[in-house]
Every structure is written in structure tokens, then in C-alpha cells.
Structure 1
Amino acid sequence: MLEEQGIAIVDRDRNGVDRAFRGDVLKGLRQRQKAVPARWLYDDAGSQLFEEITFLEEYYPTRAETEILTARGAEFAELIGPDRAVIEFGSGSSVKTPLLLSAIEPAAYVPLDIAGDFLREAAAALSAKFPQLPIYPVEADFMRETALPDEVADMPKLGFFPGSTIGNMVPRTATDLLRSMRATLGNGGGGQRPLLLIGMDLIKKRRVLEAAYDDARGVTGEFNLNLARRINRELDGTIPVDRLCHVARWNDDDARVEMHLMAQGDLSFTVAGESFRMSAGETIHTENSHKFTRRSAAMMLQAGGWSPVARWKDEKKRFCVILAEATEERGAP
């Protein structure tokens, strides 16, 4: 059952502009290496384009993770147990969510997403599949600690963060997010510590990685360019989108695929009344997709306050889903 009183806590000014979006864009464009945090790629249009990306031949992560979620349902149920409130961070269209909900018999489902219209449409579709399940959509920036609906306050909780979105962040930001998730989920209901089920992509051949973020049809390029269009639309920008191009490249030192918007000539434009310039070949860094080993994944989770409990890989060992438990507070080793 879809509860219509979803909590919208996005901070907007009197003109309806998301203050955090404007602040991040202006701060990022002032930097020597221009950059905008990847979460701003996901407005309603961006979220729809990303859903199209997940069906592309080159983009293996969705298929690999879906394989795990489909094949391991019984193991999830045994380790997670029934009657938890599932809190999905950055839920998008919730395509993978039914696989989890069908396996673990949850007490409630709370999708968190910054794209409000997309969130509500996805929540309504999911409610039709699970008519007896209370669903409380919350429009929020999941990167920050979020107040959950009162109805789930006393329930034990499972955070769900599929898709290897954690890889979009530099390690410091990813660690902060994991800590923020820990704070959002609280200390657990019924004496049960919160759990987190999270997807992480694994290191593999360069050609496979770069193709996944630069597909032959150009859908990922449109997804990237949509960020510039959003800036123009929401922040009174004058970025010449037709003079930008999408670039994806593997950075071996940092174990990540990087996405950039590259200027195809010298550019001048304004955003929110502020002037900017780009030289030919200069880029706006828009997304990282870090890839992990078993050790680097465990280290990041532990730094963020989570202890790995179980791990699963797809048959081709391309992708990993990890179940982690909130780490008990300790004053010493």
C-alpha cells in the first residue's frame, strides 16, 4: 500500500531551485579541474536515460547484479530474516527491488530518491506488485542523513544500495555516505543492528570497463550531456551543449572509470549569473565509477561503520553483492 505522505526534504529557494544543486555546480565550475558531483546526473530525464543504459549490451553491471539477486534469494532470507523495513538509497525505478522484497518478507519499504516524480511513479508501480506492503516514498538527497517516516522508526532495518553507486564517489565521500546511511538507519529496532545490502563492481579488463561507459549507441553520452541541459534549465545556464562531447576513460592509478564533458573549442557561458570559461580540450568531470577488489571493498565498508557478513558474485565474477552489519561501537581494538 502506497502511503501518499512521502516526506520531501529537498531544500529549495522561493523560485524552486535546489540550493544544494546550485551550490555544488557553482563550486565545481570554479575549480581548476571543473567537476559536478555525479548525483546531479539523476534528475527525471537522467534517471530515465540511466534505466535505458541498464539494458545496453555493453553495460553488464545490471545483468550481473540481477543474476545474483535472483539466484541467492533463499540465502538473503536466511541471513536477513523477515519483518525488516527495507530502506533503499537512491531507488531510481526500483527494478531490482522486487527480487529482494519477494525473498525476505519485509515489514515496510522506504525508497529514498532525489528525483521526486520518478520516485513516486516507481513507488506506485511497486505498490501494485506488493499491495499488502506499506510503502513510504521519501524525496531526499540520500547523501545526507535523512529522517525516516515515523511508521518504521521501531522496526529493524535493512539498507539496500544496489548498482555499485558507491563507486561513483571518491573514497572520502563514499566513507561519509556509508556513515550517513548508518545514521539514517539508526540503532535498529527490536535489538537488531541495521544491515546493509550493497552492490560493488569488480576490477576487470580495461576494454570491458570503458565500453560499459561509452556505448556504441551513445546513450551514456546523452546521459552525461543531460547534466549540462539540466544546469541550463534549472540554473539559468547558457552552456553550449552542442560544443561539448562525452568522454569515458579508465584511470588505473585510482581504479576507476571517469566520465567527462569535454569542450570541443573555447567556450564562455554563465550559470546562475556567474561567468565561466573553458579552453578547447578542458573538461567537466561528472562521474567516477570505482571498481573494487575483495580487500578494498571490505576496507571501505569498515571505514564507514559496517562489517561484511557475506559476499556473492555472479557466474562470470564481474560483480559482487555484499551483506554488512552495522559495526558495534568500540573504544579499543
Structure 2
Amino acid sequence: MSDRAEALRTDVRSGFSAAQKWLPAKWFYDARGSALFEDITRLPEYYPTRAERETLAREAGEIARVTGASTLVELGSGSSEKTRLLLDGLRAHGTLRTFVPLDVSASALDEAVAAIRADYPGLEVHGVVGDFTEDLGLLPGEPPRLVAFLGGTIGNFLPAERIKFLRSVRAVLAEGEWLLLGTDLVKDPETLVRAYDDAAGVTAEFNRNMLRVVNDLLGADFDPGGFAHEAYWDAEREWIEMRLRATEETTVHIPGAGMTVHFAEGEYIRTEISAKFRAGGVAAELAESGFAVERWWTDAERRFGVSLSRAVREG
């Protein structure tokens, strides 16, 4: 069994044994899932990508000036499209030597690396296939480094997990190195729900792709069409939950996990949380994790926040 299948088996055993079934959002992604997410970023309802890109386009030069980064590391790089704005800013500033994209999807990473190498001759590009919650120690690159964690992906962690993750990033950085973090901001529920439940049904297919990943890696017999996509705004916790709800009673066999799982009609799997943030909360969590916010930007409509933080002396 591959390392990836082994990791999924662990998560399936844990998540499907819980009273409220769940799986981590990272299991959306294989080649198909990565392609579907790229489609989502172009949907009219999905504002985060456009809002973040607007801010990066405006501030890339300032990010390069403040950090003077020699190495740009991107966690969960996907296609690396927004990263080109940072690459251009750093190259124009004259400091950029190395780009290190890390992604769980080997196919998406291979495509991104090939495209970056073709468009940025002379730039050292070291693609790393890995899980950014576990494999940060694999990252090469000379300091000063700028780690970019974009797209609001930090919102997929529960609060305690966010602090643990941010501390793990801090642990691989030297004092004075940098973190660029994208955080979706709290706004009206209608806008938020539409962003995760688009009219064309692309997000629904992306959500169901998690079941296909379980089928492919663990030999399960999920019928993805038997689960309805839902996006729910939890106002108390200020996060969106994505769910897959069984449309009828069903039993699923998962040989690779040694499990048979029963779903009652209406029972759901929580496949993602996407927390939304306020500026003060972002600064507080970063401070707790060993970072000091040096710059805070939003798009013109204040939908999405981008923070640039410096790793500070701990203790």
C-alpha cells in the first residue's frame, strides 16, 4: 500500500468511526480534484481567488521589497497561477533564486513545475510532493525564505489545528523569515454559501470527488451519485461546512480500510470546514504561533485578507 493510501486508511478509520462522520479536505485532491478546483476558482460565485489575486497583483512589489526573499516556498501550490505575481515581483527586485512548490497531487505539481521552468528560465524550481501538514521538513531553499500559504486554505483547519500548523511552519523558519497568509473574511452568509454551492454544480462534483478518491485508493464501492452536496454556514463558529448527505440508506465496503460502513438516509459526511476570519483574530493566532504581522492588505471590497508576517524570537 502506498504512503498516500496508508494515510487515507488512517483517516477513513478515524473519520468513519466517529458519531459524526468526517474526512479531511485534503482528500478532495487527485488529478481530477485538482482540475475541478481550478474550475471552481473561475466561477462567478467564487470570489476568493479573484480577491486574493487583486491584492497580490497590487502588493507583489511591496512584498518583494519588504522580504528580499531568495526562496519562495508555496504550500499547496496547485497550478501556481497566483504565485507568478510573487515570482515576478521577487525577480524584478533581483533577489529570487529558488521556487519550491509543495503539493499533495503529483500530477498537478508536475504540470505547474514544467510551466514555471518554461516561463522562468534560470530559476531553480524544486517541486516537492507532500502533505503540508506533515512534510515541511522536506523543503529545500536558501534563506531568506518566504512561505506562501494562499487561497484561504488555513480555514480548513479547526482552531487548535491552525495553531499547530502555524507553529510547524514557524519551526522550519529562521528568525526574520516570512509567511504570506491568505484568509477569507467574514461577510454576509448569502455570498459565502453561494461561493461553496455554485449554480453550475462544479463544487458539488468537487465534493463528491472525495468519494472517488476513497474508491480509487482503498477499493471502496461508494456511489458518488448517491450523496447530495451541501454547503452550510455555521454562524456561531463563523465557518462554512461542506457535507455529503446520503440520499438513501446505503452500505459501503472499504476493503483497504477493513471496514463496512452503513449510512442512514439523510446521514452526512463532513468533508470540509472553511473558517472565515477577522483581522484581529488572524493577528492573534499568528502571534500565538511565533509570527508578527508586518503588513495587512485586503481587496477593494474587503472580502479577503492577505497578511505578511515575520518569524520572531520565541520564548
| TM-score normalised per structure 1 | 0.90
**CA 1:206/1:237 → structure 2, altered by over 3 Å: closer, same or farther?**
same
State the Cα distance separating 1:274 from its structure 2 match.
0.8
1:291-330 superposed matches below 5 A: 291-330=276-315
Q: Within the alignment, does 1:45 sit opposite 2:32 as a pair? A: yes
Residue 7 of structure 1 corresponds to: none
245, 248, 261: which one pairs with 1:262? 245
Cα deviation digits, residues 199-255 of structure 1 (max 9, x gap): 000000000000000000000000000000111111010122221010001000110
Shift of 1:155: 2.4
Q: Which residue in 2 is equivalent to 1:183?
A: 171
Runs of 4+ in 1 over 2 A off after TM superposition: 15-18, 145-150
Q: 1:97 aligns with which of 53, 71, 83?
A: 83
The answer to whether the 8 Å contact 2:5/2:218 transfers is no
Percent identity reads: 40
Larger helix share, 1 or 2:
2
Q: Would you say 1:71 and 2:61 are equivalent positions?
A: no
- Greater CA drift, 235-244 or 248-257: 235-244
For residue 110 of structure 2, the aligned residue among 113, 120, 124 is 120
Kindly indicate whether residue 199 of structure 2 is the aligned counterpart of residue 216 of structure 1: yes
- Greater displacement, 211-220 / 67-76: 67-76
Matched residue of 1:18: which SS?
Answer: helix
- The two structures have a TM-score, normalised by structure 2, of 0.95
The structural deviation recorded for 1:148 is: 3.6
Q: In the aligned structure 2, how far is the partner of 1:183 from the partner of 1:118?
A: 27
Cα offset, 1:281, TM superposition: 1.1
For 2:46 and 2:213, the matched residues in 1 are separated by 24
Distance 1:149 1:294, change over 3 A: closer
Whether 1:251 aligns to 2:234 is yes
2:17 equivalent to 1:27: no
- Secondary structure class of the residue paired with 2:225: helix
Alignment equivalent of 2:97, drawn from 101, 107, 112: 107
- 48-57 or 170-179: which moved more? 170-179
Q: Is 2:241–2:272's contact at 8 Å kept on the other side of the alignment?
A: yes
Output aligned runs, 1:280-291, within 5 Å: 280-291=265-276
Q: Deviations over 1:266-289 (max 9, x none)?
A: 111111231111111111000011
**Distance across 2 between alignment mates of 1:255 and 1:142:** 24
The size of the alignment, in residue pairs, is 309
Distance 1:57 1:144 in 2: 34
Question: What is the CA–CA distance in structure 2 between the aligned matches of 1:323 and 1:48, rounded to whole Å?
Answer: 28
Q: Is contact 2:21–2:270 with CA below 8 Å preserved after alignment? A: yes
| Corresponding residue SS for 1:34 | coil
Secondary structure at 1:254 match in 2: coil
Alignment partners' CA distance in 2, 1:296 and 1:128: 40
Deviates more, 1:88-97 or 1:265-274: 265-274
Q: What's the CA shift for 1:183?
A: 2.3
Q: CA contact under 8 A between 1:36 and 1:285: conserved in structure 2?
A: yes
Structure 1 gaps, min length 5: 1-12
- CA RMSD after TM alignment: 1.4
